Amino acid sequence: EGVQPQDYTLIKMEVVPPFPPKLGALEGRRVFLAAATLRPETMYGQTNSWVLPNGKYGAFEIDETDVFIMTERAALNLSYQKLSRVPNKPTCLVELTGQDLIGLPLRSPLSFNEIIYSLPMLNILTDKGTGIVTSVPSDSPDDYMALQDLKSKPALRAKFGVKNDWVLPFEVVPVINIPEFGEKSAMKVCFDLKIKSQNEKEKLAEAKKLTYLKGFTEGTMLVGEYAGMRVQEAKPLIRSKLLKVGQAVTYSE
Ligand code: A2H
């Protein structure tokens, strides 16, 4: 954890029923993967969610109806932020591993893809955010390379039981134009830096720095309610709207 508090937006990615046997105890509840993001304005371009296959997760009671799947650490933080049925104490209904979550169909706010799937990523940190990440390959180099790896490596899909239909139909969806990098900035920067896989962490850190800063300062929205607006201006508007309609909550750590 850094010195500065980080203010995330938790995107409520709804698990589409019927639930698989592992989630059977949650039947009748509204169950969400709670994904921590710093880029709520990119949610139009979601293609999947990421989980750490051997990571430990739980299904935690947020209120009478809603259940969030995330790490226990995040559930504890949320319980101090009034997001727990029992104040200051997380209630875990089901213990889960990341592998249990792979292949869950999700309906996520603002996403042009109506149904997306939960997929494995190996670079997820369990001591940051919720341990669940929503994937926007147009604007995140990490997401772009992890999705490319799954698309191009049948053995990687097989290793984690990932079906072709959860990955192959999903293309990069343009969301933001950056003058220097175009409308698929993550793809362009990964290509320019000759990044070959999600394992090239140093190069990916460089790619992230380039796209993250330029996206915020020079990016323009291409889609959605605020198409044509600068990212700087659109970001707080999109975030507020997601919070207001109950499709997201704030989370700081
Ligand atoms: B961002 P910071 Cl489009 N492990 O969301 C690894 N990465 C995690 C994580 C975890 N436990 N929790 C969150 N993240 C990712 C969107 C996005 C993000 C875009 C572009 C850049 C970007 C879609 N993925 O992040 O270390 C989440 O991915 C680049 C920094 O707290 C979250 O925002 O600064 C970001 O990292 C938080 O990283």
Cα separation, 231 vs 114, whole angstroms: 24
Cα-to-centroid distance, 25 and ligand 1 (Å): 30
pLDDT in tens, the chain (253 residues): 556 788 999 999 999 999 999 999 999 999 999 999 999 999 999 999 999 999 999 999 999 999 999 999 999 999 999 999 999 999 999 999 999 999 999 999 999 999 999 999 999 999 999 999 999 999 999 999 999 999 999 999 999 999 999 999 999 999 999 999 999 999 999 999 999 999 999 999 999 999 998 998 999 999 999 999 999 999 999 999 999 999 999 999 9
Going by C-alpha positions, the residue among 49, 55, 35, 10 that lies closest to residue 166 is 49
Cα separation, 182 vs 57, whole angstroms: 37
Q: What is the pLDDT of residue 5?
A: 83
Verify whether ligand 1 is closer than 6 Å to residue 37 (CB atom).
Answer: yes
Cα separation, 197 vs 248, whole angstroms: 31
Q: What is the pLDDT of residue 4?
A: 78
What is residue 101's three-state secondary structure? Answer: helix
Neighbours of 103 (CB within 10 A): 17
Going by C-alpha positions, the residue among 210, 71, 228, 251 that lies closest to residue 239 is 251
Structure tokens at 140: 């995140």
Q: What is the pLDDT of residue 6?
A: 86
Cα separation, 37 vs 227, whole angstroms: 21
ipTM of the complex: 0.99
Exposure string for 220-251, b = 16+ CB within 10 A, e = fewer: bbbbbebeebebeebbeebbebbeeeebbbeb
Verify whether ligand 1 is closer than 6 Å to residue 92 (CB atom).
Answer: no
Cα-to-centroid distance, 81 and ligand 1 (Å): 21
Q: Are strands 30-37 and 66-70 parallel, antiparallel or unpaired?
A: parallel
